[in-house]
Structure 1
Protein backbone atom coordinates (compact mmCIF):
# COMPACT_ATOMS: atom_id res chain seq x y z
CA UNK A 1 0.00 0.00 0.00
CA UNK A 2 1.37 3.39 -1.00
CA UNK A 3 2.32 5.89 1.63
CA UNK A 4 -0.19 8.43 0.24
CA UNK A 5 -2.97 5.88 0.50
CA UNK A 6 -2.03 5.09 4.10
CA UNK A 7 -2.02 8.79 4.94
CA UNK A 8 -5.40 9.27 3.27
CA UNK A 9 -6.91 6.35 5.25
CA UNK A 10 -5.41 7.70 8.46
CA UNK A 11 -6.83 11.16 7.79
CA UNK A 12 -10.27 9.68 7.09
CA UNK A 13 -10.18 7.61 10.30
CA UNK A 14 -9.08 10.61 12.36
CA UNK A 15 -11.80 12.73 10.79
CA UNK A 16 -14.42 10.10 11.61
CA UNK A 17 -13.11 9.88 15.18
CA UNK A 18 -13.18 13.66 15.60
CA UNK A 19 -16.67 13.94 14.14
CA UNK A 20 -17.89 11.12 16.38
CA UNK A 21 -16.51 12.85 19.48
CA UNK A 22 -18.05 16.16 18.42
CA UNK A 23 -21.36 14.36 17.94
CA UNK A 24 -21.14 12.79 21.41
CA UNK A 25 -20.27 16.15 22.96
CA UNK A 26 -23.18 17.90 21.29
CA UNK A 27 -25.54 15.04 22.12
CA UNK A 28 -24.49 15.18 25.77
CA UNK A 29 -24.79 19.00 25.83
CA UNK A 30 -28.30 18.94 24.43
CA UNK A 31 -29.70 15.82 26.08
CA UNK A 32 -28.06 15.88 29.53
CA UNK A 33 -30.07 18.84 30.94
CA UNK A 34 -33.35 17.24 29.86
CA UNK A 35 -32.41 13.83 31.23
CA UNK A 36 -31.13 15.46 34.43
CA UNK A 37 -34.47 17.23 35.04
CA UNK A 38 -36.46 14.04 34.40
CA UNK A 39 -34.17 11.92 36.57
CA UNK A 40 -34.11 14.46 39.42
CA UNK A 41 -37.91 14.53 39.62
CA UNK A 42 -38.19 10.74 39.57
CA UNK A 43 -35.46 10.34 42.19
CA UNK A 44 -37.11 12.95 44.43
CA UNK A 45 -40.45 11.14 44.20
CA UNK A 46 -38.93 7.76 45.11
CA UNK A 47 -36.77 9.16 47.93
CA UNK A 48 -39.64 11.20 49.44
CA UNK A 49 -41.83 8.09 49.33
CA UNK A 50 -39.28 6.16 51.41
CA UNK A 51 -38.88 9.07 53.86
CA UNK A 52 -42.63 9.58 54.30
CA UNK A 53 -43.33 5.90 54.90
CA UNK A 54 -40.59 5.79 57.55
CA UNK A 55 -41.85 8.97 59.24
CA UNK A 56 -45.46 7.79 59.38
CA UNK A 57 -44.42 4.39 60.71
CA UNK A 58 -42.23 5.81 63.48
CA UNK A 59 -44.51 8.67 64.55
CA UNK A 60 -47.87 6.90 64.40
CA UNK A 61 -47.36 5.20 67.79
CA UNK A 62 -44.80 7.50 69.43
CA UNK A 63 -46.03 11.05 68.87
CA UNK A 64 -49.03 12.38 70.77
CA UNK A 65 -49.78 16.10 70.87
CA UNK A 66 -50.92 16.14 74.49
CA UNK A 67 -47.72 14.38 75.56
CA UNK A 68 -45.25 16.68 73.78
CA UNK A 69 -47.05 20.02 74.02
CA UNK A 70 -48.17 21.39 77.35
CA UNK A 71 -50.67 24.27 77.55
CA UNK A 72 -50.22 26.40 80.67
CA UNK A 73 -53.29 28.30 81.89
CA UNK A 74 -53.91 30.70 84.73
CA UNK A 75 -56.49 30.27 87.49
CA UNK A 76 -59.20 31.69 85.24
CA UNK A 77 -58.46 29.28 82.41
CA UNK A 78 -56.70 31.78 80.18
CA UNK A 79 -53.78 30.42 78.17
CA UNK A 80 -50.41 31.73 79.32
CA UNK A 81 -47.86 29.68 77.49
CA UNK A 82 -47.22 26.64 75.28
CA UNK A 83 -44.32 24.41 76.27
CA UNK A 84 -42.77 21.60 74.21
CA UNK A 85 -41.14 18.46 75.56
CA UNK A 86 -38.11 18.87 73.30
CA UNK A 87 -36.33 15.92 74.91
CA UNK A 88 -39.06 13.51 73.80
CA UNK A 89 -39.37 15.18 70.40
CA UNK A 90 -35.62 14.96 69.82
CA UNK A 91 -35.60 11.31 70.83
CA UNK A 92 -38.28 10.47 68.26
CA UNK A 93 -36.54 12.60 65.61
CA UNK A 94 -33.31 10.70 66.29
CA UNK A 95 -35.05 7.34 65.84
CA UNK A 96 -36.67 8.55 62.61
CA UNK A 97 -33.35 9.81 61.21
CA UNK A 98 -31.61 6.50 61.93
CA UNK A 99 -34.47 4.42 60.56
CA UNK A 100 -34.79 6.59 57.44
CA UNK A 101 -31.07 6.22 56.78
CA UNK A 102 -31.35 2.45 57.16
CA UNK A 103 -34.36 2.29 54.82
CA UNK A 104 -32.57 4.32 52.15
CA UNK A 105 -29.48 2.12 52.41
CA UNK A 106 -31.53 -1.08 52.30
CA UNK A 107 -33.32 0.14 49.20
CA UNK A 108 -29.94 0.22 47.46
CA UNK A 109 -29.29 2.31 44.39
CA UNK A 110 -32.29 3.79 42.65
CA UNK A 111 -31.97 2.87 38.98
CA UNK A 112 -33.96 4.77 36.39
CA UNK A 113 -33.99 3.93 32.68
CA UNK A 114 -35.05 6.79 30.44
CA UNK A 115 -35.55 6.30 26.67
CA UNK A 116 -33.78 9.10 24.78
CA UNK A 117 -37.03 9.77 22.90
CA UNK A 118 -38.73 10.71 26.17
CA UNK A 119 -36.87 14.02 26.38
CA UNK A 120 -38.86 15.34 23.41
CA UNK A 121 -42.12 15.02 25.40
CA UNK A 122 -43.85 13.49 22.41
CA UNK A 123 -46.12 10.48 23.04
CA UNK A 124 -45.33 9.01 19.63
CA UNK A 125 -41.56 8.82 20.13
CA UNK A 126 -41.35 8.84 23.95
CA UNK A 127 -40.43 5.14 24.11
CA UNK A 128 -38.07 5.21 21.14
CA UNK A 129 -34.30 5.26 21.12
CA UNK A 130 -31.68 3.75 23.44
CA UNK A 131 -32.22 3.92 27.19
CA UNK A 132 -30.07 6.07 29.43
CA UNK A 133 -29.56 4.58 32.90
CA UNK A 134 -29.37 6.99 35.83
CA UNK A 135 -28.43 5.79 39.32
CA UNK A 136 -28.97 7.50 42.66
CA UNK A 137 -27.31 6.66 45.97
CA UNK A 138 -28.15 8.18 49.34
CA UNK A 139 -25.13 10.02 50.78
CA UNK A 140 -25.89 9.25 54.41
CA UNK A 141 -26.88 12.49 56.14
CA UNK A 142 -30.42 12.93 57.45
CA UNK A 143 -31.57 16.24 58.95
CA UNK A 144 -34.85 16.48 60.85
CA UNK A 145 -36.48 19.65 62.13
CA UNK A 146 -39.88 20.48 63.58
CA UNK A 147 -42.09 23.40 62.64
CA UNK A 148 -45.53 24.54 63.73
CA UNK A 149 -48.37 26.68 62.43
CA UNK A 150 -51.23 28.50 64.14
CA UNK A 151 -54.51 29.21 62.36
CA UNK A 152 -57.63 30.89 63.70
CA UNK A 153 -60.67 28.61 63.66
CA UNK A 154 -63.21 30.97 65.17
CA UNK A 155 -63.77 32.99 68.32
CA UNK A 156 -61.17 31.95 70.90
CA UNK A 157 -60.32 28.80 68.92
CA UNK A 158 -56.92 28.27 67.35
CA UNK A 159 -55.72 25.27 65.35
CA UNK A 160 -52.13 24.31 66.10
CA UNK A 161 -50.39 22.05 63.57
CA UNK A 162 -46.98 20.41 64.01
CA UNK A 163 -44.82 19.20 61.11
CA UNK A 164 -41.58 17.27 60.76
CA UNK A 165 -39.24 18.45 58.02
CA UNK A 166 -36.70 15.93 56.74
CA UNK A 167 -33.79 16.64 54.42
CA UNK A 168 -31.26 14.29 52.85
CA UNK A 169 -28.82 14.26 49.94
CA UNK A 170 -28.51 11.72 47.14
CA UNK A 171 -25.72 11.22 44.63
CA UNK A 172 -27.08 11.16 41.08
CA UNK A 173 -24.86 9.23 38.67
CA UNK A 174 -25.21 9.99 34.97
CA UNK A 175 -23.31 8.17 32.20
CA UNK A 176 -20.88 11.09 31.89
CA UNK A 177 -21.22 13.00 35.16
CA UNK A 178 -22.09 12.86 38.86
CA UNK A 179 -24.15 15.41 40.78
CA UNK A 180 -25.68 15.85 44.23
CA UNK A 181 -29.39 16.35 44.77
CA UNK A 182 -31.03 17.67 47.95
CA UNK A 183 -34.37 16.05 48.78
CA UNK A 184 -36.81 17.57 51.28
CA UNK A 185 -40.07 16.34 52.71
CA UNK A 186 -42.58 17.84 55.14
CA UNK A 187 -45.08 15.59 56.90
CA UNK A 188 -47.88 16.78 59.25
CA UNK A 189 -47.64 15.00 62.60
CA UNK A 190 -50.49 16.35 64.68
CA UNK A 191 -53.02 19.11 64.97
CA UNK A 192 -55.35 20.19 67.74
CA UNK A 193 -57.84 22.94 68.48
CA UNK A 194 -56.78 25.13 71.40
CA UNK A 195 -59.84 26.57 73.11
CA UNK A 196 -59.27 29.95 74.73
CA UNK A 197 -57.63 33.21 73.84
CA UNK A 198 -54.07 32.53 72.76
CA UNK A 199 -51.70 35.44 73.58
CA UNK A 200 -49.21 36.70 70.99
CA UNK A 201 -46.34 35.36 73.09
CA UNK A 202 -47.72 31.84 72.68
CA UNK A 203 -48.16 32.35 68.92
CA UNK A 204 -44.40 32.97 68.75
CA UNK A 205 -43.94 29.35 69.83
CA UNK A 206 -40.91 28.02 67.93
CA UNK A 207 -39.88 24.39 67.46
CA UNK A 208 -36.78 24.96 65.34
CA UNK A 209 -34.56 24.09 68.30
CA UNK A 210 -36.05 20.59 68.26
CA UNK A 211 -34.89 17.94 65.83
CA UNK A 212 -31.90 15.77 65.06
CA UNK A 213 -29.10 15.79 62.51
CA UNK A 214 -27.57 12.46 61.55
CA UNK A 215 -24.28 13.11 59.73
CA UNK A 216 -23.00 10.85 56.99
CA UNK A 217 -21.45 7.68 58.32
CA UNK A 218 -23.21 7.82 61.69
CA UNK A 219 -25.75 5.23 62.76
Structure 2
Protein backbone atom coordinates (compact mmCIF):
# COMPACT_ATOMS: atom_id res chain seq x y z
CA UNK A 1 0.00 0.00 0.00
CA UNK A 2 2.96 2.34 0.55
CA UNK A 3 4.35 2.00 -2.96
CA UNK A 4 1.57 3.92 -4.76
CA UNK A 5 1.84 6.75 -2.24
CA UNK A 6 5.60 6.94 -2.78
CA UNK A 7 5.12 7.03 -6.55
CA UNK A 8 2.49 9.76 -6.29
CA UNK A 9 4.85 11.83 -4.14
CA UNK A 10 7.69 11.43 -6.61
CA UNK A 11 5.35 12.31 -9.47
CA UNK A 12 4.20 15.47 -7.68
CA UNK A 13 7.80 16.50 -6.95
CA UNK A 14 8.73 16.02 -10.58
CA UNK A 15 5.69 18.03 -11.63
CA UNK A 16 6.59 20.93 -9.34
CA UNK A 17 10.21 20.78 -10.53
CA UNK A 18 9.13 20.97 -14.17
CA UNK A 19 6.77 23.85 -13.39
CA UNK A 20 9.48 25.80 -11.57
CA UNK A 21 11.91 25.13 -14.42
CA UNK A 22 9.35 26.33 -16.95
CA UNK A 23 8.61 29.49 -14.95
CA UNK A 24 12.33 30.20 -14.56
CA UNK A 25 12.93 29.86 -18.30
CA UNK A 26 9.89 32.04 -19.03
CA UNK A 27 11.16 34.68 -16.59
CA UNK A 28 14.58 34.70 -18.26
CA UNK A 29 12.98 35.02 -21.69
CA UNK A 30 10.88 37.99 -20.52
CA UNK A 31 13.98 39.67 -19.09
CA UNK A 32 15.81 39.17 -22.38
CA UNK A 33 12.86 40.57 -24.37
CA UNK A 34 12.70 43.60 -22.06
CA UNK A 35 16.45 44.20 -22.49
CA UNK A 36 16.01 44.10 -26.25
CA UNK A 37 12.90 46.29 -26.42
CA UNK A 38 13.70 48.91 -23.79
CA UNK A 39 16.43 50.77 -25.79
CA UNK A 40 14.14 51.01 -28.84
CA UNK A 41 11.16 52.21 -26.81
CA UNK A 42 13.33 54.69 -24.90
CA UNK A 43 14.76 56.11 -28.14
CA UNK A 44 11.28 56.53 -29.63
CA UNK A 45 10.04 58.22 -26.45
CA UNK A 46 13.00 60.62 -26.36
CA UNK A 47 12.46 61.53 -30.03
CA UNK A 48 8.77 62.17 -29.35
CA UNK A 49 9.67 64.41 -26.39
CA UNK A 50 12.06 66.45 -28.55
CA UNK A 51 9.45 66.98 -31.26
CA UNK A 52 6.74 67.90 -28.75
CA UNK A 53 8.90 70.35 -26.79
CA UNK A 54 10.36 72.16 -29.81
CA UNK A 55 6.92 72.60 -31.39
CA UNK A 56 5.51 73.85 -28.08
CA UNK A 57 8.35 76.35 -27.60
CA UNK A 58 8.11 77.74 -31.13
CA UNK A 59 4.32 78.06 -31.03
CA UNK A 60 4.28 79.71 -27.58
CA UNK A 61 6.94 82.28 -28.51
CA UNK A 62 5.41 83.09 -31.89
CA UNK A 63 1.99 83.62 -30.31
CA UNK A 64 3.43 86.03 -27.74
CA UNK A 65 5.47 87.98 -30.30
CA UNK A 66 2.51 88.32 -32.67
CA UNK A 67 0.58 90.03 -29.86
CA UNK A 68 3.46 92.50 -29.40
CA UNK A 69 4.76 93.52 -32.86
CA UNK A 70 6.59 96.63 -31.56
CA UNK A 71 8.86 94.68 -29.22
CA UNK A 72 11.98 95.45 -31.33
CA UNK A 73 11.59 99.20 -30.83
CA UNK A 74 11.24 98.85 -27.05
CA UNK A 75 14.11 96.42 -26.63
CA UNK A 76 16.79 97.99 -28.79
CA UNK A 77 17.77 101.62 -29.49
CA UNK A 78 20.58 102.39 -31.90
CA UNK A 79 22.54 105.48 -30.76
CA UNK A 80 24.06 107.52 -33.62
CA UNK A 81 26.19 110.65 -34.05
CA UNK A 82 25.11 113.74 -35.96
CA UNK A 83 26.65 112.35 -39.14
CA UNK A 84 24.55 109.19 -38.79
CA UNK A 85 27.38 106.87 -37.78
CA UNK A 86 26.49 104.29 -35.14
CA UNK A 87 27.88 104.81 -31.65
CA UNK A 88 26.27 101.97 -29.71
CA UNK A 89 23.35 99.62 -29.37
CA UNK A 90 21.30 100.37 -26.27
CA UNK A 91 19.34 97.40 -24.88
CA UNK A 92 16.57 98.02 -22.37
CA UNK A 93 17.40 95.42 -19.73
CA UNK A 94 14.15 95.90 -17.80
CA UNK A 95 12.05 95.31 -20.91
CA UNK A 96 14.27 92.38 -21.86
CA UNK A 97 13.85 90.69 -18.47
CA UNK A 98 10.11 91.28 -18.65
CA UNK A 99 9.95 89.66 -22.08
CA UNK A 100 12.08 86.73 -20.94
CA UNK A 101 9.80 86.06 -17.98
CA UNK A 102 6.69 86.32 -20.15
CA UNK A 103 8.00 83.94 -22.80
CA UNK A 104 9.26 81.44 -20.22
CA UNK A 105 5.84 81.37 -18.59
CA UNK A 106 4.18 80.94 -21.99
CA UNK A 107 6.44 77.99 -22.86
CA UNK A 108 5.92 76.41 -19.44
CA UNK A 109 2.12 76.69 -19.69
CA UNK A 110 2.16 75.27 -23.21
CA UNK A 111 4.19 72.26 -22.09
CA UNK A 112 2.02 71.70 -19.02
CA UNK A 113 -1.00 71.53 -21.30
CA UNK A 114 0.39 68.56 -23.22
CA UNK A 115 -1.73 65.46 -22.78
CA UNK A 116 -0.71 61.83 -22.95
CA UNK A 117 0.90 60.99 -26.27
CA UNK A 118 0.24 57.75 -28.09
CA UNK A 119 3.15 56.34 -30.08
CA UNK A 120 3.00 53.36 -32.40
CA UNK A 121 6.13 51.28 -32.92
CA UNK A 122 6.16 48.58 -35.63
CA UNK A 123 6.73 45.14 -34.17
CA UNK A 124 9.61 44.54 -36.61
CA UNK A 125 11.39 47.64 -35.31
CA UNK A 126 11.14 46.39 -31.74
CA UNK A 127 12.97 43.18 -32.66
CA UNK A 128 16.07 45.19 -33.54
CA UNK A 129 16.54 43.37 -36.84
CA UNK A 130 17.21 45.73 -39.75
CA UNK A 131 15.39 43.51 -42.23
CA UNK A 132 12.19 43.79 -40.17
CA UNK A 133 12.48 47.52 -39.37
CA UNK A 134 9.22 49.32 -40.05
CA UNK A 135 7.32 46.09 -40.69
CA UNK A 136 4.51 44.41 -38.85
CA UNK A 137 1.62 45.72 -36.76
CA UNK A 138 2.14 48.73 -34.49
CA UNK A 139 2.61 48.26 -30.79
CA UNK A 140 0.96 51.26 -29.12
CA UNK A 141 2.41 52.89 -26.03
CA UNK A 142 1.39 56.00 -24.13
CA UNK A 143 3.85 58.55 -22.80
CA UNK A 144 3.10 61.37 -20.38
CA UNK A 145 5.64 64.18 -20.86
CA UNK A 146 6.64 66.21 -17.80
CA UNK A 147 8.90 69.22 -18.19
CA UNK A 148 11.06 71.86 -16.50
CA UNK A 149 11.95 75.06 -18.38
CA UNK A 150 15.03 77.31 -18.10
CA UNK A 151 15.87 80.30 -20.30
CA UNK A 152 18.83 82.54 -21.01
CA UNK A 153 19.30 85.72 -23.09
CA UNK A 154 21.93 85.95 -25.82
CA UNK A 155 22.64 88.47 -28.55
CA UNK A 156 24.91 88.64 -31.57
CA UNK A 157 26.22 90.98 -34.27
CA UNK A 158 26.56 89.50 -37.75
CA UNK A 159 27.55 91.02 -41.07
CA UNK A 160 24.46 91.32 -43.26
CA UNK A 161 25.98 92.97 -46.34
CA UNK A 162 28.17 95.88 -47.38
CA UNK A 163 28.35 98.32 -44.46
CA UNK A 164 25.40 96.58 -42.77
CA UNK A 165 25.23 94.65 -39.52
CA UNK A 166 22.41 92.49 -38.13
CA UNK A 167 21.88 92.66 -34.38
CA UNK A 168 19.80 89.82 -32.98
CA UNK A 169 18.51 88.97 -29.54
CA UNK A 170 17.87 85.30 -28.75
CA UNK A 171 16.26 83.47 -25.88
CA UNK A 172 17.90 80.10 -25.38
CA UNK A 173 15.39 77.69 -23.84
CA UNK A 174 16.47 74.53 -22.05
CA UNK A 175 13.73 72.03 -21.31
CA UNK A 176 14.07 68.88 -19.22
CA UNK A 177 11.51 66.40 -20.53
CA UNK A 178 10.61 63.11 -18.83
CA UNK A 179 8.56 60.47 -20.60
CA UNK A 180 6.71 58.22 -18.16
CA UNK A 181 6.23 54.85 -19.81
CA UNK A 182 4.58 51.71 -18.43
CA UNK A 183 7.05 50.31 -15.94
CA UNK A 184 9.81 52.90 -16.27
CA UNK A 185 10.66 56.43 -17.39
CA UNK A 186 13.28 58.22 -19.47
CA UNK A 187 14.53 61.82 -19.53
CA UNK A 188 15.93 64.03 -22.27
CA UNK A 189 17.28 67.59 -22.37
CA UNK A 190 16.06 69.74 -25.28
CA UNK A 191 17.63 73.10 -26.17
CA UNK A 192 16.09 75.58 -28.60
CA UNK A 193 17.37 79.05 -29.48
CA UNK A 194 14.67 81.44 -30.74
CA UNK A 195 15.25 84.94 -32.14
CA UNK A 196 12.91 87.43 -30.45
CA UNK A 197 14.22 90.70 -31.90
CA UNK A 198 16.48 91.81 -34.73
CA UNK A 199 17.73 95.22 -35.87
CA UNK A 200 19.52 96.08 -39.11
CA UNK A 201 22.32 98.56 -38.44
CA UNK A 202 23.54 100.58 -41.41
CA UNK A 203 27.08 101.88 -40.91
CA UNK A 204 30.14 100.78 -39.01
CA UNK A 205 29.85 98.10 -36.36
CA UNK A 206 29.25 99.74 -32.95
CA UNK A 207 32.12 99.47 -30.51
CA UNK A 208 30.03 98.57 -27.47
CA UNK A 209 26.61 97.71 -26.11
CA UNK A 210 24.80 99.79 -23.53
CA UNK A 211 22.09 98.62 -21.12
CA UNK A 212 19.52 100.84 -19.52
TM-score normalised by the chain length of structure 2: 0.82
Partner of 1:212: none
Partner of 1:66: 73
- Could you tell me how far apart the structure 2 residues matched to 1:123 and 1:67 are? 58
SS at match of 1:2: helix
Partner of 2:89: 82
Instruction: List, as ranges, runs of 4+ consecutive aligned residues in structure 1 with deviation greater than 3 Å.
Output: 119-125, 199-202
- Could you tell me how far apart the structure 2 residues matched to 1:60 and 1:89 are? 16
User: Are 1:172 and 2:159 counterparts?
Assistant: no
- Could you tell me how far apart the structure 1 residues matched to 2:138 and 2:34 are? 14
Partner of 1:19: 25
Gaps of 5+ in 1: 208-219
**May I ask how many residue pairs the two structures share in their alignment?**
203
Say what the alpha-carbon RMSD is for the aligned residues. Answer: 2.5
Gaps of 5+ in 2: 1-6
Conserved 8 A contact 1:43-1:110 = no
Partner of 1:133: 141
Partner of 2:42: 36
SS at match of 2:67: helix
Taking the TM superposition and a 5 Å limit, the aligned residue runs for 1:91-106 are: 91-106=98-113
Question: Alpha-carbon deviations, 1:148-193, whole Å to 9, x = none?
Answer: 2222123321112222222222221233322222222222223332
SS at match of 1:92: helix
- Could you tell me how far apart the structure 1 residues matched to 2:140 and 2:13 are? 37
Q: CA deviation at 1:56?
A: 0.4
Q: CA deviation at 1:197?
A: 0.6
Partner of 1:116: 123
- Could you tell me how far apart the structure 2 residues matched to 1:9 and 1:46 are? 53
CA 1:57–1:38: 2 relative to 1, 3 Å: same
Name which of 156, 163, 182 aligns with 2:163: 156
Conserved 8 A contact 1:170-1:181 = yes
